Amino acid sequence: MPARIEPCVATLVDKPPNGPDWAFEVKWDGYRLAVHVEPGRVRIITRGGFDWTDRFAPIATEARQLGHPTMILDGEAVVLDDKGRSDFGMLQRAVGRKPSLHDPREILFFAFDILYLDGRDLSRVPLSERRRLLESIVVAGRAGVIRLSEEVVAEGEEFFRIACEHGLEGIVAKRRDKPYRSGRRPDWQKIKCVRSDSFVIVGYEPSTMPGAIGRLLLAARKGEGLVYIGGCGTGWTYQESVKLRELLDTIVTDQPAVALRRRGAVFTRPVLVAEAEYRAWTQDGKLRHPSFKGLRALEDGAGVFNLEENRGMGL
């Protein structure tokens, strides 16, 4: 049994594909996880390869009850709002609280693939066969903390339109006939209703409000370095802004990670990642109307936006 399988990552595209070769699912807004059921233990591994089993203990407990001695499930941990939509901010708050302060069933795991089962490596098997096996273990409509990310039978464009009308983040399209291949692949495609990506925090500008942040200074990857792509000044409450500034003040540096001169700015070491929604990119490569959604830890494998990998997406 492999100790870890590097996850397959969907490629961002503007429009959904169509045709019988594609399967469609909701795009969940949470933490990408692999659930490893092994003899005598269960491990929950982040996209970046870190063990977060202790943070998702109810998922680990339920995985033992699925009836198979060895198994690897690929999926997303989420918290749903009152309309059944995944909310990254709610998930982050739930993960950050002590277990005694929230319902252990609040965090759900939506399984959308199975990579290993009872001694058999399934990564070379077509998606259609992997889904058949997955659906026999995590059945549709299951009410536990481990649930099935169900396929939606629809044309891609129609499903995308309906998903956006209902306030979802977007959809994912997957080739039914392809094996599971690690890394960013065109076999899996994501189409977002509202653009949302991860950016490195390289500093902040203080607010006129005492102890708060006025704007976060954000950067994207380009080659081996980072490039400043603008500031984000919305998406938090005053209390959240104060806590964020307290955190950033612990990693202040006098050596900015990007080429930027800004009077009054406080620069930080590039170790924290912000998830931000935005409408588009400006012609000079800056985010248009970004809004802060929450922090991502580097160990959850947050895929920091890479300018070179996303050419053609309005850049």
174 is catalytic: no
Tokens of 31: 């933490």
Q: Which residue has the tokens 């009152």?
A: 82
Among residues 27, 174, 192, 293, which one is catalytic?
27
Beta strand residue intervals within the chain, DSSP E: 8-12, 22-26, 31-38, 41-46, 71-78, 108-117, 120-121, 146-148, 170-175, 183-192, 195-206, 213-222, 225-232, 266-267, 273-278, 280-281, 287-288, 291-296
Long-range contacts of 306-315 (CB under 8 A, 24+ apart): 306/220, 306/221, 306/222, 307/220, 307/221, 307/222, 307/227, 307/229, 308/221, 308/222, 308/223, 309/184, 310/12, 313/12, 313/14, 313/281, 314/280, 314/281, 315/281, 315/285
Residue type, 141: G
Q: Please tell me the distance from the alpha carbon of residue 205 to that of residue 186, in angstroms, as a whole number.
A: 39
Catalytic residues: 27
